[in-house]
Amino acid sequence: MLILTCPYCGVQAEETELHPGGEAHLKRVGPDGSDEDFEAYLFARKNPKGVHFERWRHAYGCGKWFLAARCTASLQVFGTYKAQNPYPPAEIVDAIRAHRPDWQPDWTVQHAQAESPAE
Amino acid sequence: MPSDAPRSGRYSVFAIAREALRQHSGWKRAWASPEPRGRYKVIVIGAGGHGLATAYYLGRNFGITDVAVLEKGWLGGGNTGRNTTIIRSNYLQDPSAALYEKARSLYETLSQELNYNIMFSPRGLIMLAQTEHEVRGYRRTVHANNLQGVATEWIEPARVKELVPIINLDGPRYPVLGGLYQARGGTARHDAVAWGYARACSDMGMHIIQNCEVIGIETECGQVRAVNTSKGRIGCEKLAIVVAGHSSQLAEMAGFRLPIESVALQALVSEPIKPCMDVVVMANTVHGYMSQSDKGEMVIGGGTDGFNNFTQRGSWHHVEETVRALIETFPMISRLKMLRQWGGIVDMTGDRSPILSATPVGGIFVNCGWGTGGFKAIPGSGWAMAELIAKGTPGPLAAEFGLNRFREGRFIDESVAAGVAH
Ligand SMILES: Cc1cc2nc3c(=O)[nH]c(=O)nc-3n(C[C@H](O)[C@H](O)[C@H](O)COP(=O)(O)OP(=O)(O)OC[C@H]3O[C@@H](n4cnc5c(N)ncnc54)[C@H](O)[C@@H]3O)c2cc1C
Ligand SMILES: [Zn+2]
């Protein structure tokens, strides 16, 4: 049974309380995007066998969308975080690194700083 | 093509009699297990039903036998050996009906064709309509099927009861309002399909190499050159990626992405009981379906998990939902003990239709996206895929299933017709 902690209400929610929402951190393509960009945004998915960042909704709880870092090959959960983060926060990255030393983020630190939320 | 494969000999009633007289000492292995050569004309990755059928029709229809099928585990150990073996072709959209009906009709004579008993059993299949919406949907499918030349009919509840005496029509929550009936739908023995194709491929001199995982794909100037495997580098002119749940991983090795997500789908079987149901029944509103195997087990399947998963192990609550729903529909199964439960990793596309396509890399073709329902398609898929690989362009069966349909918005939307796993 998959258990994720909702970062909003703090409840340890089990799977039947949650609704899965697929890959996280997809960047919406604007009107000047190319056909390729738009297709990738809509359809192409990383679908990794390993570390996956994904959207979940606390459907039968507070109702909010949040994000989770999880391993699709072992079902290990590295942590959850609020959906306002444009990139996974440092604690999550550290938690993943602690278990998967070889894992590399596919975004750059500059990105992450430039777009970090003004809380 | 010179063959180092020992021929397995023809199976017949005389062979059985001959072997009976000599303590069954003369049976040969059904397929050879050679070491890989350095290079093949065509490499197929994945020895599931679709990969093996692709190889078989490359040889049968196009005379291409310089072929290797590489399998990381044992052949048929993926979804092909994990499915609930339902065969039907009552799809809504024309391209799907054409492809699945081609497959279904090839299944009719596949045992003779392969000289291998795949136990095709066209026992009939009913998709129950349990809401008004489903009644309208299935009536529409029947009309579409009649235009497509696929024999299906709408049947009323009384006829459903006649065909399935153990069914409870009254609900209470979802009464049976009728059904979409395909009399020539049914089941086949899944392992035998893989084994039969494997044997026929081996007899043509093709190499089936098990325990050989592809770990890298070598390209040069946008053209495939070779694959790197746990048994070394193997060169090829053309490469077919036919790996179901691992399609994204192989595509990544070749440098492109696919519109695929991998999720777990589960099935379970009960203890064997006396014959009680000789049709396949699917109940899509309540997410469950059931048939009785030749051994007497009730074979049960349900819905997929909603999240990406590669563990071949699904969520408990889906099993619970499925069984709960089926007990409403078939009250007599409430006391049955379940013997085994398992999962497979299925490759889901957004429109719930498969992909048979060329790719951004020259010489690489993909066959994937069969999701929860590709067992029924194996012969047709292999047929269409072989044509695509041999000619480099798709024939009529595969034409609509290219990757570009996502960019161009030409979806083959089967999410209504195939709302449940099967
Ligand atoms: C529980 C369940 C029930 C189902 N019920 C039905 C049903 O009733 N009717 C129906 O029509 N369909 C059903 N399906 C779907 C059907 O099983 C699949 O669509 C079909 O079997 C897919 O066949 P395949 O050959 O594409 O994949 P698979 O049989 O999975 O074969 C792919 C092969 O590729 C190999 N592979 C992966 N990566 C590599 C690598 N890197 N190198 C080498 N080899 C690799 C795998 O080991 C595997 O053997 C069901 C599926 C499941 C899981
Ligand atoms: Zn919450």
Mean pLDDT, rounded, for B151-175: 95
Give A34's pLDDT tier (boundaries 50, 70, 90): very high
Residue-wise pLDDT tens digits, B38-90: 999 999 999 999 999 999 999 999 999 999 999 999 999 999 999 999 999 99
If you ran DSSP here, which 8-state letter would residue B258 be given?
B
Q: Does position B345 have pLDDT exceeding 70, yes or no?
A: yes
Could you give the domains of chain B? 38-89+92-115+190-259+351-408 (3.50.50.60), 125-183+262-349 (3.30.9.10)
| Predicted ipTM of the assembly | 0.92
Distance between CA atoms of residues B80 and B367, nearest Å: 14
Give B144's pLDDT tier (boundaries 50, 70, 90): very high
Yes or no: say if A63 and A57 are a contact pair by the CB < 8 Å rule: yes
CA of B74, closest atom in ligand 1: 49
Give B171's pLDDT tier (boundaries 50, 70, 90): confident
CB contact under 8 A, A35 and B407: yes
And the tokens for B382? Answer: 């292999």
- At CA A101, angle to CA A96 and CA A107, rounded to 5? 60
Q: Is the C-alpha dihedral spanning B205, B206, B211, B217 positive or negative?
A: positive
Residue-wise pLDDT tens digits, A67-95: 999 999 999 999 999 999 999 999 999 99
User: Residues near B288 by Cβ (< 8 Å), separated by ≥ 6?
Assistant: B300, B301, B302, B321, B322, B323, B325, B326, B329, B420
Least confident residue range of B194-198, B252-256, B300-304: B300-304
Q: Which residues of B touch A73 (CB under 8 A)?
A: 310-311
- B170: burial class by Cβ within 10 Å (0-12, 13-18, 19+)? exposed
Yes or no: say if A43 and A52 are a contact pair by the CB < 8 Å rule: no
What are the counts of helices (DSSP H) followed by strands (DSSP E) for chain B?
A: 11, 18
Per-window interface: B 129-148 vs A, CB < 8 A? none
- Domain containing residue A75: CATH number: 3.30.2270.10
Yes or no: say if B318 and B267 are a contact pair by the CB < 8 Å rule: no
Distance between CA atoms of residues B69 and B46, nearest Å: 7
Residue A116: per-residue pLDDT: 55
What mean pLDDT is reported for chain B?
95
pTM higher than 0.90, yes or no? yes
Identity of the residue in B262, B311, B313 whose CB atom sits nearest the CB atom of A47? B262
**C-alpha torsion angle, residues B387, B389, B392, B398 (rounded to 10):** 50
User: Residues near B68 by Cβ (< 8 Å), separated by ≥ 6?
Assistant: B36, B37, B40, B42, B43, B44, B206, B207, B208, B209, B234, B236
Q: Does position A96 have pLDDT exceeding 80, yes or no?
A: yes
Q: Does position B416 have pLDDT exceeding 70, yes or no?
A: no
CA of B367, closest atom in ligand 1: 26
Identity of the residue in B261, B306, B315 whose CB atom sits nearest the CB atom of A47? B261
Q: Which residues of B touch A69 (CB under 8 A)?
A: none
DSSP strands (E only) in B221-373 = 223-229, 232-241, 261-270, 280-283, 288-292, 298-308, 338-348, 355-358, 364-368
Least confident residue range of B94-103, B164-173, B185-194, B200-209: B164-173
Q: Which residues of B touch A15 (CB under 8 A)?
A: 315, 317
Q: Does position B117 have pLDDT exceeding 50, yes or no?
A: yes
Residue A119: per-residue pLDDT: 47
Ligand 1 pocket test: pick from B341, B352, B365, B375 the residue with the most ligand atoms within 8 Å of its Cβ: B375
Residue B3: per-residue pLDDT: 46
Report H helices in B262-362: 316-329
Residue B50: per-residue pLDDT: 98
Residue B293: per-residue pLDDT: 96
Residue B103: per-residue pLDDT: 98
Per-window interface: A 37-96 vs B, CB < 8 A? 39-40, 42-49, 52, 54, 70, 72-75
Q: Does position B407 have pLDDT exceeding 60, yes or no?
A: yes
Mean pLDDT, rounded, for A98-117: 77
Residue B2: per-residue pLDDT: 43
Residue B1: per-residue pLDDT: 42
CB contact under 8 A, B306 and A20: yes
- B28: burial class by Cβ within 10 Å (0-12, 13-18, 19+)? exposed
Atom 37 in ligand 1: which residue has the minimum CA distance? B243
Q: Does position B173 have pLDDT exceeding 90, yes or no?
A: no
Identity of the residue in B308, B310, B316 whose CB atom sits nearest the CB atom of A1? B316
Residue B8: per-residue pLDDT: 81
**DSSP 3-state assignment of B300?**
strand
CA B174 to chain centre: 30
Mean pLDDT, rounded, for B141-170: 97
- At CA B371, angle to CA B340 and CA A80, rounded to 5? 85
Is A67 or B171 the better-scoring residue by pLDDT? A67
Residue-wise pLDDT tens digits, B257-307: 999 999 999 999 999 999 999 999 999 888 899 999 999 999 999 889 999
Ligand nearest to the CA of A56: 2
Give A114's pLDDT tier (boundaries 50, 70, 90): low
**DSSP 3-state assignment of B174?**
coil
Distance between CA atoms of residues B405 and B410, nearest Å: 5
Residue A82: per-residue pLDDT: 98
Pocket, ligand 1, Cβ cutoff 6 A: B 45-51, 70-73, 77-80, 82-86, 213-214, 242-244, 246, 250, 265-267, 301, 344, 346, 370, 372-376, 422
**Residue found by looking up tokens 């009913």 in the block:** B126
Q: What is chain A written as a DSSP string?
A: --EEE-TTT--EEEGGG-EEEEES-PPPP-TT--HHHHHHHHT-B---SSEEEEEEE-TTTT--EEEEEEETTT--EEEEEETT-SS--HHHHHHHHHH-TT---SS-HHHHHHT----
Residue A110: per-residue pLDDT: 64
Yes or no: say if A49 and A73 are a contact pair by the CB < 8 Å rule: yes
Give A113's pLDDT tier (boundaries 50, 70, 90): low
- The range of the structural domain enclosing residue A17 comes to 3-26+35-115
Number of domains making up chain A: 1
Least confident residue range of A20-34, B1-15, B267-281, B342-356: B1-15
Distance between CA atoms of residues A20 and A13, nearest Å: 12
- % of residues, chain B, pLDDT over 70: 97
Distance between CA atoms of residues B142 and B154, nearest Å: 6
**Residue whose C-alpha is closest to residue B385's, from B240, B249, B203:** B240
- Mode of pairing for the β-strands spanning A77-82 and A65-71: antiparallel
Yes or no: say if B200 and B114 are a contact pair by the CB < 8 Å rule: yes
CA distance B44 to chain A (A): 21
Give A30's pLDDT tier (boundaries 50, 70, 90): confident
Least confident residue range of A82-86, A106-110, B61-65, B196-200: A106-110
